[in-house]
């Protein structure tokens, strides 16, 4: 076990602070110094973070923090948690919003049958064109540029 730079109660208080009063996910925050209790607190934090909206791929493993194996993964989880909190914008996050980036939100568009039919008549640039850039004047690879 690595000596942790902060008590694990901070993580539990952090996740609890992102919920309205009375709806906190971690009901009892233990002050115990026993290893299994502290590891249980890490697991509670991770479970609550996933429930809050942090993607499973962004969540560190318990041993990453407990043994100090991958502190960068711990940092990525905290950054992802901050991004989710800022994106939710539900009033529970009271920190500086510019510390985290907002996650992209879904922006569904609905098109009528008429609009879809009109789109079939348009020839997009992906179809190709005989105008614009060409390879005329190009030399082979490794050949020096010809300056006349």
47: domain CATH number? 1.10.418.10
For residue 120, being part of any structural domain is answered with no
**68-101 pLDDT, tens digit each:** 888 898 999 988 988 888 888 777 767 777 777 7
In a domain, 134, yes or no: no
Which candidate, 18, 4, 12, 9, places its Cα nearest to that of 81?
18
Q: What is the pLDDT of residue 143?
A: 72
Q: Is the pLDDT of residue 19 over 80?
A: yes
Residue 58 covered by a domain: yes
Asked whether residue 61 is assigned to any structural domain, the reply reads: yes
Predicted pLDDT at 47: 92
Confidence at residue 1, expressed as pLDDT on a 0 to 100 scale = 47
Its domain, for residue 54, covers 34-90+99-104
pLDDT of 126 reads 62
Residue 80 belongs to some domain of the structure:
yes
> What is the spatial distance between Cα 85 and Cα 88, in angstroms, rounded to a whole number?
5
Q: How far is CA 122 from the centre of its chain?
A: 37
Give per-residue pLDDT as tens, 42-57: 889 899 999 988 999 9
Report the chain's mean pLDDT, rounded to a whole number. 79
Two structure tokens written together for 67: 């043994």
Does residue 81 sit within a domain?
A: yes
Structural domain total, the chain: 1
| pLDDT tens, residue by residue, 99-125 | 777 777 778 888 889 988 887 877 666
Q: Is residue 45 part of a domain?
A: yes
How many Å apart are CA 129 and CA 58, to the nearest integer? 43
Q: Within a domain: residue 129?
A: no
Share of the chain above pLDDT 70, in %: 80
Query: What is the DSSP code (8-state) at residue 120?
Result: T
- Give the residue from 106, 104, 50, 57 showing the smallest Cα distance to 81: 50
């Amino acid at each position: 076990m690595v000596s942790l730079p902060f008590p694990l109660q901070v993580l539990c208080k952090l996740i609890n602070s992102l919920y309205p009063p009375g709806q906190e996910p971690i009901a009892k925050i233990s002050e115990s110094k026993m290893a299994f209790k502290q590891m249980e607190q890490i697991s509670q934090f991770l479970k609550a973070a996933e429930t809050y909206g942090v993607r499973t791929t962004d969540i560190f493993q318990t041993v990453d923090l407990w043994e100090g194996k991958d502190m960068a993964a711990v940092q990525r989880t905290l950054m992802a948690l901050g991004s989710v909190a800022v994106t939710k914008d539900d009033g529970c996050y009271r920190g500086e919003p510019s510390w985290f980036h907002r996650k992209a939100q879904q922006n569904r568009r609905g098109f009528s049958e008429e609009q879809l039919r009109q789109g079939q008549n348009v020839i997009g640039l992906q179809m190709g064109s005989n105008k614009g850039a060409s390879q005329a004047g190009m030399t082979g690879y490794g050949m020096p540029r010809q300056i006349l």
